[in-house]
Structure 1
């Protein structure tokens, strides 16, 4: 049968290996993966330039879209445009900081209603686990959420409170019963409460207020609950390399726990952050260069599963840049559009390949959340593709970003790698054109 689209490239990342090849697409899916000289007939044929590589579309499972309720912070149209511009073809939206949070079936329907018809990439949803909603989890699970997020300390927004120790174990037991994954913001409330309070513009003071012990202790709590209940757990935005030994030992013992880190932890360190530069504030915080080296070693060894953005934007006013007060400014880094070049720039300097980067940023996130037809170039997978020029470089100009607000921690940095095209289910995404994205539900394609 005639194919809809054929893409030829001297460089394609296919199932973890970079090679030459031709990809044939029919009805939105990859129908053929063949050698470069294969004769395929299609309605449209495209040959990539010699400096371009064909990658699977990235899968970012940690994005705060904030719509509805805080749409002035971000929104589905702006977030998914930015995602497409960065080679990301699938996102999974966090259950906060929208109002209402995604903690009931009604709130999930509200979220889906807001997103429908205005997404430029495919969008799935996390449910939220908060005190008092344990009886809602089964209905949310049946409604297609990809799992449940909880906090072990103050989330920063009053409508999404944390779970205490008993509530956390009970929630893990319920998600284990459902076969769902519980994803955890793992910082210990007691350790943070006993740390020095952050005030003023000094970054070192903010760093002391969120010590690595807070992560380490909370991650031990996650491991113990998963071991006791047989639950599936995932540790969000790992910043502390000190926690890695416990995670590695638990996994070796059969505990079902995975872990992610983020581009900012892999590429920024405390010495990069001037006092008062609250665009760098996030929780857990960006730590020192030695810690960063250990994160990279763990990523290379497979002890960290994936790299996702934790895109957590807000209005510029909430960053309090005129005061530079790390204690009062909103914590979160907006990086959805820049994740691929940010990670690639650092990865290649450390001897890693594009196949490594796509494994961390596409294949593994898709596999862990239950999207086996995303994040890979293989027959039967969705034809979600990214045309990437890895040796081209650019300087980050905030004005070029498609997030709702252009504030970025990467302003002025020279990065390697430019996304030239993004394809979603065999159709080229044009960020000023018709939205092509659809809403995803767990277990349904």
Structure 2
């Protein structure tokens, strides 16, 4: 099969999504503290108000706000201290006009009080009294019941990626187990007679396998479980046996290399032989990334992808296709781009959308996007880049000063 008609990125995404919705979207319960990086498989509802009591945000005195009106350093208001509330203690008194109570940060505010005066604005005055030198309004430095989370309300939605702050909210609500999406199972294969394992010495004409490590890391970053990696020679029978075996236990099989028109590139033929309906995209109108093959097998419910052999191209195609698809399947928020101005002109590619790597530099009223140029076979072009911007198909390029969206890598 030859690269006769390539798909645009949008066309490939549409076809890939039709196949991807057939993948098993399983869920599992895990401990909250172990959930960082996972994606919620359901809405989270709090059974209680957080906080469950009115608490102070400062060290100071709980007061009736109306008692402090007109207070000044030169003419303070005198209030009688009826108790000191320790952290974790329930106040014993309901405050009346003319009374106050000391409350530490996070402490429970007595009934009757509606504001806090910071201790910096209070001075002891005689026995059991304080002089308040500043007026406060109702609600000052007071956190109401349920101000953070209302009992019975959804406070984290399905599709939320769990970070440290989400774990904090879950633990505050007493939730120690949560439902998350089970990771998709991925096999990563690199093909090529010239490839050797990273720890092996290089012979003439050989190069170390980069793609296995890059794609394995990317897959894990997007919430997948990489169950197998393997380096395969340019041998059709070995490739066929390995893919067939991988399809039995994988949701996604990634192959790098072997997807162009060379005489020893078997990927498309093997996928069509093993999978039904087989290949649905044979080439992308994308630079870099044209030699990309996508296929699907209904019986094993496996997506198969032949990615370019060049590391930068393989990584970018994974991010553009599978990174977005995986997030969409789990209902995650779409990625957010950063706005920047182009530092210089950048040419486009006739008939193809261009993925242009850039560095982000401070400048002007925000960021400058400086193009990172380099062939797709050079991994260092990726290490120098902060992200990429897209040049639409058949556009001559981007101009100096033009505002663009930069997507982080």
Give the TM-score normalised by the residue count of structure 1.
0.24
Higher relative contact order (CA 8 A, sep 6+): 1
Rg: which structure is higher? 2
More strand by share: 2
TM-score where L is the length of structure 2? 0.26
